[in-house]
């Protein structure tokens, strides 16, 4: 595998770190074995909501974990509570996982926004679709968290045909929820998930 495909963007020095040289090597090796690369620039923001889409396959999780390890940044992420069980519960939490119960969405938004108030640095990643099923739209939880916390959204596209994780530019959602949802939905249409019919 060429050096270009195994290289990852430089982590901003003030971002919280994850792992060490060995885990970064493991992440780069995992991405290389799967044929994936990370492209784009990581912004200097201390606080971000990171929206990763399209999410159409369980494979997205493994690609994402390898990318986290390769970059070496501690990025918190929201996951369905049912995956946080023995024997992987401790591992998922150590990788930044925060279990959420989906039917308590309003509470999740408030709690996530509150974390941005109490933590000096917080990078929170989530899937804006909230599911792998086809909806034809994004759920607005990620926008409500960003608006309530007053932080930008960093869009990250998963493109299976090119096996590329594309880091976009920080985006301040300043329209209505519907306007911003449509803008992000159209942005992510440039990327094709593993199962395109599910986006």
Strand order in the sheet with 97-100: 37-39, 164-167, 153-159, 47-53, 122-126, 76-80, 97-100
The pLDDT of residue 112: 87
Q: Where are the domains of the chain?
A: 33-59+76-167+175-198
For 60, counting Cβ atoms within 10 Å of its Cβ (0-12 exposed, 13-18 middle, 19+ buried), the class is buried
The pLDDT of residue 1: 42
* C-alpha span between 194 and 197 (Å, rounded): 9
The pLDDT of residue 138: 93
With a cut of 50, list the residues of the chain below it in pLDDT: 1-2, 132
- Answer whether 53's CB lies under 8 Å from 181's CB: no
pTM equals: 0.86
């Amino acid at each position: 595998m060429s050096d270009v495909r195994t290289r990852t963007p430089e982590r901003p020095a003030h971002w919280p770190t994850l792992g060490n040289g060995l885990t970064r090597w493991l992440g780069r090796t995992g991405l290389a074995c799967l044929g994936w690369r990370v492209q784009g620039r990581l912004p200097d923001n201390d606080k971000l909501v990171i929206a990763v889409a399209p999410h159409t396959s369980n494979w997205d999780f493994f690609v994402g974990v390898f990318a986290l390890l390769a970059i070496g940044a501690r990025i918190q992420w929201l996951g369905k509570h049912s995956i946080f069980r023995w024997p992987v519960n401790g591992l998922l939490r150590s990788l930044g996982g925060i279990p959420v119960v989906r039917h308590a969405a309003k509470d999740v938004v408030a709690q996530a926004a509150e974390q941005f108030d109490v933590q000096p640095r917080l990078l929170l990643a989530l899937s804006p679709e909230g599911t792998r099923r086809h909806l034809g739209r994004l759920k607005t939880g990620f926008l409500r968290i960003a608006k309530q916390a007053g932080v930008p959204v960093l869009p990250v596209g998963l493109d299976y045909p090119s096996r590329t994780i594309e880091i976009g530019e920080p985006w301040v959602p300043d329209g209505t929820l519907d306007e911003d949802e449509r803008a992000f939905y159209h942005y992510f249409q440039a990327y094709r998930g593993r199962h395109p019919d599910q986006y």
